[in-house]
Amino acid sequence: MLDLTATELLQQQTAGALTAEAITRTFLERIAAVDQKVRAFLAVNDTSALDQARTIDAKRKAGHALGKLAGVPIAVKDILCTKGQRTTAGSKILGNFVPPYDAHVITKLREADAILIGKTNMDEFAMGSSTENSAYQITRNPWDLERIPGGSSGGSAAAVASNQAPLALGTDTGGSIRQPAAHCGIVGLKPSYGRVSRFGVIAYGSSLDQVGPITRSLGDAALLLEAIAGPDRRDSTCVHRPVPEYSATLDEPIKPLTIGIAREFWGEGLDAEVENAVRVAVKQYQRLGATIKEISLPHSPYAVAVYYLVATAEASSNLARYDGVHFGHRAEKFAGLIDMVKKSRGEGFGAEVKRRIMLGTYALSSGYIDAYYLKALKVRRLIRQDFDRAFAECDVIIGPTSPTAAFKIGEKTADPLAMYLSDIYTIGANLAGICGISIPCGFTSGGLPIGLQILAAPFAEEKLLRVARMFERETDWHRRRPVV
Amino acid sequence: MSLSADEVRKVADLARLDLTDAELALMAPQLSAIVDYINQLQQLNTDGVEPLAHALDLHDVFRDDEPGQSLPPDEALANAPARKGDFYRVPPVFGD
């Protein structure tokens, strides 16, 4: 049962072969058996998940209408507020924070009758690419427990890859869904900016953050996106656009299909095995009739620099709310109000969060704002224009998700800049607001998964999923599971 | 370009972050390396380019002003580190 996709779990319940309770019990047992090794979860909802499952089974028995994800367990990143349940964003500063409301996506999951099975580990405030920045625990890559699962949604990706949950939600500010999905050999979708409500998502970079699916199949990603997307009056940047039935059109190939290959995505730093796997994938698309077109995204080499100004500037402003006054940690000893704020923040935030707040504060400070923050916003427009030009001549852009496979725990912690550069292919999509996905496309000789990134224009998720599905149905990379 | 310990201390003060001496010592070279990397943006000519603050062409989004339920005080204050009645309790703002 653990290998079944959400789509299959739904079918089996409809057919009467499985109950929500049996499914939930099986996944809870799996978590109990393997999570001491993987350490994906910060909290497991043993009791409430089973209660929810029994309610759904009773509704089904009584012939009531059921939601789109009825009886399917889902793990959610601990950055999503859950009413009455501790939500930490991986930070000590929120160590005792119990939100008084649900994030919009959590409300949508409850409406869809999904089973909330637990909350997953993450880099503190989603700042990181390895999940090593969590204040609570190190999550391990299920394919090699000595390696990182990617980040910042590393807990969600590791949970899905190790069959501890069929579905998960992550958030992606600079690649935090796609990169861990690539490192764990699964599917990770970052929706276009404005596709999914950010209400109740603990903010990092508000012009970049999006919530999205982490799954083992494209069918499941389509289904989960359908369940969470759409307007919300509490997020003014969540647009009023109908949500297509992604799962209904998923199996229709895009014909004719023009694929853009950006020459900037194949440069220095790209591991040879990763490059080879992605080139083989491009050839596969060619065999399926796609036209391959070499394109250029001339400003993409500047994306990391722009990101680490824009995201940190927004973070320094967003994280100003953690002042020990309204909620979160307050220092015990201090001399006056300002000192209380400083000490609370000094004690509550971890090293990477401090570094980014410092960088953002510096970029916004008097004398530097024009040279750094405004300059970055101008280059951001040039990056967006590169994508606009590219999507005028091709349907999607294909390349590697990450320049290397998963690195070793501890390998990059001493060098923040090296860690930042591992996001080089994913960051552009957040700056430009376009959608992107990572799907499995092979393994290194050492047995580590490799991710293929596909990017599409804003709100072209339907096309993105259909193009990705063309590859998935021809290959079986997505069926491989690690032995934990 | 490198940030001096004094500059780093000033930024930490602006950010209301209490950093230990060990943190300050580590932060200066790390931030300097990142700022050096970021300085490559200065090579680009951006004359006449409008800044892009976020990807959506949205301005002034309105919704109907419908009265709704507010968070009851006890729920709003449930996470407060210190409270007094229906208020957040903090050290004196003025004086001392």
Question: What does the pLDDT look like over B30-83, one tens digit per residue?
Answer: 999 999 999 999 999 999 999 999 888 888 888 888 898 999 999 999 999 999
A229-249 burial code (b ≥16 CB/10 A, e <16): bbbbeebbbbbeeebbebbee
**For residue range A150-201, what is the model confidence (pLDDT) as tens digits?**
999 999 999 999 999 999 999 999 999 999 999 999 999 999 999 999 999 9
Backbone angles phi, psi at A376, to 5 degrees: -65, -40
Whole-number CA gyration radius for chain A: 21
Percentage of chain A surpassing pLDDT 70? 100
Closest CA to A291 of A261, A246, A323: A261
In A139-269 the beta strands, taken as DSSP E runs, fall at: 167-172, 187-190, 210-215, 258-262
Q: Which of B8, B15, B56 sits opposite A433 (nearest CB)?
A: B56
Q: CB B2: neighbour CB atoms within 10 A?
A: 11
pLDDT for position A361:
97
**CB neighbour burial string for A178-211, b if at least 16 within 10 angstroms, e if fewer:** bbbbbbbbbbbbbbbbbbbbbbbbbbbbbbbbbb
Instruction: Give the nearest chain B residue to A335 (CA atoms).
Output: B91
**pLDDT greater than 70 at residue A419:** yes
Rounded distance between C-alpha atoms, residue A230 and residue A238, angstroms: 7
Q: In the structure, how many helices (H) and strands (E) does chain B have?
A: 3, 2
Q: Which amino acid type is present at position B50?
A: E
Average pLDDT, integer, range A340-346: 98
Identity (one letter) of the amino acid at A451?
G
Min CA distance, B95 vs chain A (Å)? Answer: 9
DSSP at A370: I
Selecting among A91, A130, A134, A152, the annotated active-site residue is A152
Distance CA A96, CA A80 (A): 15
Determine contact, residues A401/A423, Cβ cutoff 8 Å.
Answer: no
pLDDT at B95 over 80: no
Give the pLDDT band of residue A65 (cuts 50, 70, 90). very high
Determine the Cα–Cα distance for residues A35 and A117; give it in Å rounded to an integer. Answer: 13
Residue range A59-75: mean pLDDT, rounded: 97
Q: Is A176 annotated as catalytic?
A: yes
Check residue A7 and give its pLDDT: 96
Q: Closest by alpha carbon to A359, among A321, A419, A309, A431?
A: A309
Which are the contacts of A408, defined by CB distance < 8 A and separation ≥ 6?
A146, A147, A148
Judged against a pLDDT cut of 70, whether residue A483 lies above it is answered with yes
Mean pLDDT along residues A2-26: 97
**Chain A: nearest CA to B82, how far in angstroms?**
8
Instruction: Check whether B96 has a pLDDT greater than 60.
Output: no
Q: Is the peptide bond before A256 cis (omega within 30 degrees of 0)?
A: yes
**Burial (0-12, 13-18, 19+ Cβ within 10 Å), A271:** middle
Range with lowest mean pLDDT among A209-213, A352-356, A369-373: A369-373
Strand, helix or coil for residue A80: strand
Confidence of residue B1 (pLDDT cuts 50, 70, 90): low
Report the distance separating Cα A442 and Cα A405, nearest Å: 11
Tell me A301's DSSP state.
G
Catalytic-labelled residue, pool A129, A130, A134, A176:
A176
- Contact assignment for A374 to B11 by CB distance below 8 Å: no
Q: Beta-carbon neighbour count of residue A177 at 10 Å? A: 33
Q: What's the half-sphere exposure (Cβ side, CA atoms, 13 Å) at B36?
A: 10
- Is residue A206 annotated as a catalytic residue, yes or no? no
**Whether the predicted pLDDT of A440 surpasses 90:** yes
Task: Say what the pTM is.
Answer: 0.97
Determine, for residues A380 and B37 on separate chains, whether the beta-carbon distance falls below 8 Å. Answer: no
pLDDT band at A462 (very low <50, low <70, confident <90, very high): very high
The number of angstroms, rounded, from the C-alpha of A81 to the middle of its chain's C-alpha atoms is 16
DSSP at A331: -
CB neighbours of residue A67 within 10 Å: 17
β-pairing, A187-190 vs A73-77, is unpaired
Interval A465-474: pLDDT, tens: 999 999 999 9
Give the residue from A304, A375, A388, A415 with the most B CB atoms within 10 Å of its CB, the best one to mutate. Answer: A375
- Which residues of B fall within a CB distance of 8 Å from A337? 90-93
Query: Torsion angle, CA of A287/A290/A294/A295, rounded to 10 degrees?
Result: -150
- pLDDT at residue A482, as a whole number: 97
